[in-house]
Amino acid sequence: MYVYMSDYMFSVILVIIVGICGYFVVNESPRQIIGDIIRMNSDIRIDANDGSDMIIHNEDVYGKLLDKGELGLAESYMDGDWSSVDMGGLLRKLLHYQDVFEDKLRAKAPILSWFHVKYKLLRLWNTNTNTKETSPENIQKHYDVGNDLYQRMLGPTMQYTCAYFNKEGIGLDEAEENKMDLIAKKLYLKPGLRVLDIGCGFGSMAYHLATKYDVVVTGVTLSREQVDYANTHYQHENMTITFLDYRDVTGTYDRVYSVGMFEHVGSRNYKQYFNKCHDLLEEDGVMLLHTMGISKPNENQDKYFASTYIFPEGELPDINRITSSFSDDWRLEDFQNMGISYSKTFDAWRTNLGDWSGLDAYDTRFRRMWDYYLHLFAENFRCQNFLLWQFVFTKKAHSRADDCHFIRSP
């Protein structure tokens, strides 16, 4: 008798079988498994004294590592299970040995391999869609945590994206100004142009362009706190900030850009994003995309710490997926990577926060989570696992009289 089994049911049964097999095969303690792999394959020191890279306060950390991997490491830090006198140095080492550790874990026993099987199977019913219904909640969980936190961390520019450290010896504020002027240059702004800022943040970029370059800027965001902040601190007659999904924007603009927003789009929606920008841009217009990127494709990002606690449903693009999404209708005029500048930006944000004095509304677990986030991203950019890309596009349908020399002009 033939019995039909859906992909979903097959996946559930396979997950159960692999998990049961792993249960009976592994007879070592989590501490022994993790400790042996780290000691035998790296120079990382784990102990309960101040001379170690990772100081253990609660041995639950080992079980959490086996259970959830990268996410378990982060959660155990948030729970106070471990600490480090040099968090950046420790994370840098862990990133360096990450592939080795994962290979050893997969070879250890089926229960350790099953996590990788599970991630693949979960893609069959992945809910990382960033729809109009889910996007506002995802954005507000991060960007509405408190403007007092962002004011302390970001400083006077209120720029929550990568600064441009293009010279030695400059600070965060100057580097953020450099970034905004670099974007203005690549957009080839002229007085009176209509400009759309998708995911406008706290409004400081829109204000900078409106005041310095005399353009008319419309900014949209799904953070109500950002809208309130922008309309309170950055009022200008040539600037409008609105609570609106970019997919609902109407009209046409001479320039379209997004800075630090594409990470929230999700790979399933890349084509929709580029198509919408195409509809919004005048035929002879210029579009700029400023986004984090990832050095190699990774389909499991929705199971990591950042996507769970920091940027819900966030996803860093890889170059292949971006290219396949824009290549039909867009002409790539310029591409730049400046990811190491982002490591310096995260370092500066952490310095600005200092000891969290005066930020009493944020409890210890939140502070540990945020501190881990700032360290983790700084080290990923320093190791160039994460990258920062700027793309400049024009429409293929429009025939330009000349190249975009303005991008490279002095």
Q: Compute the distance between CA of residue 358 and CA of residue 355 in angstroms, rounded to an integer.
A: 9
Which pLDDT score, from 0 to 100, does residue 24 have?
A: 41
The residue ranges of every structural domain in the chain are 7-125, 135-407
State the first-to-last Cα distance of the chain, in angstroms, to the nearest integer: 76
Which pLDDT score, from 0 to 100, does residue 108 have?
A: 65
Looking at per-residue pLDDT, the higher value among 398 and 112 belongs to 398
* Model pLDDT for residues 217-240, shown as the tens digit of each residue: 999 999 999 999 999 999 999 999
> In one letter, which amino acid is 84?
S
- What pTM, to 2 d.p., does this model score? 0.89
DSSP run (H or E) holding 243: strand 239-243
Percent of the chain with pLDDT over 90: 73
Q: Compute the distance between CA of residue 218 and CA of residue 319 in angstroms, rounded to an integer.
A: 28
* Model pLDDT for residues 308-365, shown as the tens digit of each residue: 999 988 999 999 999 999 989 999 999 999 999 999 999 999 999 999 999 999 999 9
> In one letter, which amino acid is 354?
G
At 20, is the secondary structure helix, strand, or coil?
helix
Q: Compute the distance between CA of residue 41 and CA of residue 60 in angstroms, rounded to an integer.
A: 22
**Most confidently modeled of 5-9, 138-142, 159-163?**
159-163
The structure tokens 């979903």 sit at 8
The answer to whether the beta carbons of residues 219 and 197 sit under 8 Å apart is yes
What mean pLDDT value characterizes the chain?
89
**Across 180-206, average pLDDT:** 98
Question: What is the CATH architecture assignment of 135-407?
Answer: 3-Layer(aba) Sandwich (3.40)
Which pLDDT score, from 0 to 100, does residue 7 have?
A: 43
To 5 degrees, how large is the angle CA 120–CA 122–CA 124? 90
Does 21 have pLDDT greater than 70? no
Axis crossing angle, helix 204-213 with helix 172-187, rounded to the nearest 10? 60
Does 291 have pLDDT greater than 70? yes
* Model pLDDT for residues 32-89, shown as the tens digit of each residue: 989 999 999 999 999 867 678 999 999 999 989 888 888 999 999 999 999 999 999 9
Token code pair at residue 132: 């109009």
Which region, left, alpha or beta, applies to residue 169 given φ > 0 means left and ψ of -120 to 50 means alpha?
A: left
**Across 250-254, average pLDDT:** 98
Does 9 have pLDDT greater than 60? no
What band does 134 get if pLDDT is binned at 50, 70 and 90? confident
**Across 205-214, average pLDDT:** 98
Across the strands, what pairs with 392? 288, 334
Of the CA atoms within 13 Å of residue 138, those in its CB half-sphere come to: 24
Q: Compute the distance between CA of residue 178 and CA of residue 165 in angstroms, rounded to an integer.
A: 8
Across the strands, what pairs with 242? 220
Which pLDDT score, from 0 to 100, does residue 145 have?
A: 94
What band does 152 get if pLDDT is binned at 50, 70 and 90? very high
Instruction: Write the CB contacts of 320 (distance below 8 Å, at least 6 apart in sequence).
Output: 297
- Sign of the Cα torsion 307, 308, 309, 313 reads positive
Q: Compute the distance between CA of residue 268 and CA of residue 272 in angstroms, rounded to an integer.
A: 8
Which pLDDT score, from 0 to 100, does residue 280 have?
A: 98
The answer to whether the beta carbons of residues 199 and 261 sit under 8 Å apart is yes
The structure tokens 């930020």 sit at 359
Q: Compute the distance between CA of residue 132 and CA of residue 242 in angstroms, rounded to an integer.
A: 16
Does 181 have pLDDT greater than 90? yes
Instruction: Give the Å distances, CA to CA, from 251 to 74, 205, 236, 247.
Output: 44, 21, 21, 12
The answer to whether the beta carbons of residues 147 and 229 sit under 8 Å apart is yes
Percent of the chain with pLDDT over 70: 88
Which pLDDT score, from 0 to 100, does residue 302 have?
A: 81
The answer to whether the beta carbons of residues 387 and 316 sit under 8 Å apart is no
Which pLDDT score, from 0 to 100, does residue 410 have?
A: 82
Which pLDDT score, from 0 to 100, does residue 8 have?
A: 42
The answer to whether the beta carbons of residues 259 and 161 sit under 8 Å apart is yes
What is the DSSP secondary-structure string of 331-398? EEEEEEE-HHHHHHHHHHHHHHHTT-TT-TTS-HHHHHHHHHHHHHHHHHHHTTSEEEEEEEEEETTS
Does 112 have pLDDT greater than 90? no
Which pLDDT score, from 0 to 100, does residue 1 have?
A: 39
